[in-house]
Amino acid sequence: MMFAQVLIVLVLFSGRECGMISNGDLINRVVNALNAVLNFISENVDDMNVDGLFGVALAEAHLLKIRELKRENDSYEFLSNQASEILKQIRWDRKNLSPNYKMCSYQKSFLIFSVYISVFLVKTFLLNVDIWKKNIEFTRGRMHTVEPPFQANTCSQYLNLMSNAYFREGFSDECLSRIINGSRRKEKNCHLDKFCFKYVMESKLMLGYGLTHKVLLLQVAKALGCKWNTTPKITKYCSHVLWEVRQDSNCGFIETLDDLFIEQILLCGSEGFLEFFQPSWIEHVLRLQSQFGCFGTLADETEMVRTKREANYIKFGCTDHATGLAAATLSLFLRILLLTK
Ligand SMILES: *[C@@H]1O[C@H](CO)[C@@H](O)[C@H](O)[C@H]1NC(C)=O
């Protein structure tokens, strides 16, 4: 009895002292959610597109890092094995990787130089867990204050702004394959053509997926060892992403932005910016999970922020994109909850 009381006091104290999220119940809920989403994916691997499976590779990388620190607990080993099994189950001959361009004259001339993403490149680079297994320094205070890029005084103005944000996903894929190809050269300059260079490096204001994909491309370049100074750009772009997430959160989370929300938290959160781990944001991701374990966030296609080619319905109203990325996001949450405890 006495011992129990002392223990409770200690728990309260340690929680208060470091001011961190230290919630055993939350950890268990994240573990259960992760288990459910990995089970779902493992039963539907053939329906998952490459983006979704990329999420599983990131999930495994985070889970392997957790295992290095929590060797005594079998739960984490179980989860990382689950992710690893999924990646082994992929039947590559069933994956369609060719970009689905809508041809316009500009793109036609651009396509002459196209380097398509092949199964080989995806397998060897993008879905290679070792590349993504990295140490992360989780800190607060590196985000810049940003000037709101556009005026949005109300939630409907904000949604309108995001809905009209223009972004061509095929173009970002094009730049992605250029980075991967560039990283295979010995000198690792990962040279980009003028268009991709402008997209990745120039500060032209973008919103939504246009912005998260800038972060993603920099992260891929960094992971593949390109000799770029990625840190200042990533910090700058993520500061803008944080502004967006805060708008969304202040609006009580706009349903049509939920898929984007998962991507935002995952990509910028992977840089260790603790600003992206508000308890209510973690709760929101948990709430988005369906009873079947998958995540469905294409609320209404007609008012979709942008036709997301890389998101497809699988079943139960879920999409491969949100489901795969959510697996990675939940693994990242678990990593943070366990490490900052
Ligand atoms: C292992 O982790 C799970 C999930 O967080 C937890 O419920 C369980 O109590 C832990 N087991 C041990 C032995 O620490």
Let me know if residue 150 belongs to a domain. Answer: yes
- By CB atoms closer than 10 A (0-12, 13-18, 19+), residue 128 is middle
Let me know if residue 295 belongs to a domain. Answer: yes
Please give the Cα distance from 282 to 265 (Å, whole number).
9
CA 75–ligand 1 middle distance (angstroms): 7
pLDDT above 70: residue 236: yes
pLDDT of amino acid 112:
36
Instruction: Enumerate residues 6+ apart whose C-beta is below 8 A from 221.
Output: 179, 183, 190, 200, 228, 230
Q: pLDDT tens-digit profile of 5-19?
A: 433 333 333 333 344
Q: Of 214, 234, 211, 239, nearest to 143 (Cα)?
A: 239
Please give the Cα distance from 55 to 266 (Å, whole number).
9
Please give the Cα distance from 299 to 75 (Å, whole number).
33
Q: pLDDT tens-digit profile of 68-127?
A: 989 899 999 999 999 999 999 999 888 766 544 333 333 433 443 344 567 788 888 999
The residues lining ligand 1, judged by C-beta closer than 6 Å to any ligand atom, are 27-28, 31, 73, 75
Q: Of 331, 332, 313, nearest to 322 (Cα)?
A: 313
Per-residue pLDDT, averaged over 195-217, amounts to: 91
- Give me the residue label for tokens 């308890």: 279
pLDDT of amino acid 64:
97
pLDDT of amino acid 116:
56
Residue with the nearest Cα to atom 3 of ligand 1?
75
Residue with the nearest Cα to atom 6 of ligand 1?
28
Report the percentage of the chain scoring pLDDT > 90. Answer: 64
Q: Of 94, 70, 1, 84, nearest to 41 (Cα)?
A: 84
Confidence of residue 339 (pLDDT cuts 50, 70, 90): confident
pLDDT of amino acid 22:
54
Please give the Cα distance from 255 to 322 (Å, whole number).
13
- By CB atoms closer than 10 A (0-12, 13-18, 19+), residue 82 is buried
pLDDT above 50: residue 306: no
In ligand 1, which atom is closest to the CA atom of 338?
Answer: 5
The residue ranking higher by pLDDT, 63 or 107, is: 63
The residue ranking higher by pLDDT, 265 or 152, is: 265
Number of helices (H), then strands (E), belonging to the chain: the values are: 15, 0
Residue with the nearest Cα to atom 10 of ligand 1?
73
**Where in the sequence is the domain holding 227, given as residue range(s)?**
23-339
Please give the Cα distance from 39 to 82 (Å, whole number).
8
Q: pLDDT tens-digit profile of 269-279?
A: 999 999 999 99
Please give the Cα distance from 78 to 312 (Å, whole number).
28
pLDDT of amino acid 340:
73
Let me know if residue 16 belongs to a domain. Answer: no
Q: Of 134, 95, 135, 155, nearest to 224 (Cα)?
A: 134
| Ligand 1 pocket, mutate which of 75, 78, 79, 334 (most atoms under 8 A from CB) | 75
Q: What is the C-alpha R_g of the chain? A: 20
Confidence of residue 131 (pLDDT cuts 50, 70, 90): very high
| Ligand 1 pocket, mutate which of 27, 73, 74, 338 (most atoms under 8 A from CB) | 73
In ligand 1, which atom is closest to the CA atom of 74?
Answer: 1
pLDDT of amino acid 150:
79
pLDDT of amino acid 174:
86
pLDDT above 70: residue 179: yes
Strand partners, 221: none
Name the domain count of the chain: 1
Let me know if residue 71 belongs to a domain. Answer: yes
Residue type, 41: I
- Asked whether the beta carbons of 298 and 304 are under 8 A apart, the reply is yes
Let me know if residue 9 belongs to a domain. Answer: no
Let me know if residue 8 belongs to a domain. Answer: no
Let me know if residue 10 belongs to a domain. Answer: no
pLDDT above 70: residue 289: yes
Residue with the nearest Cα to atom 7 of ligand 1?
28
Let me know if residue 323 belongs to a domain. Answer: yes
CA 285–ligand 1 middle distance (angstroms): 22
**Mean predicted lDDT score pLDDT of the chain:** 85
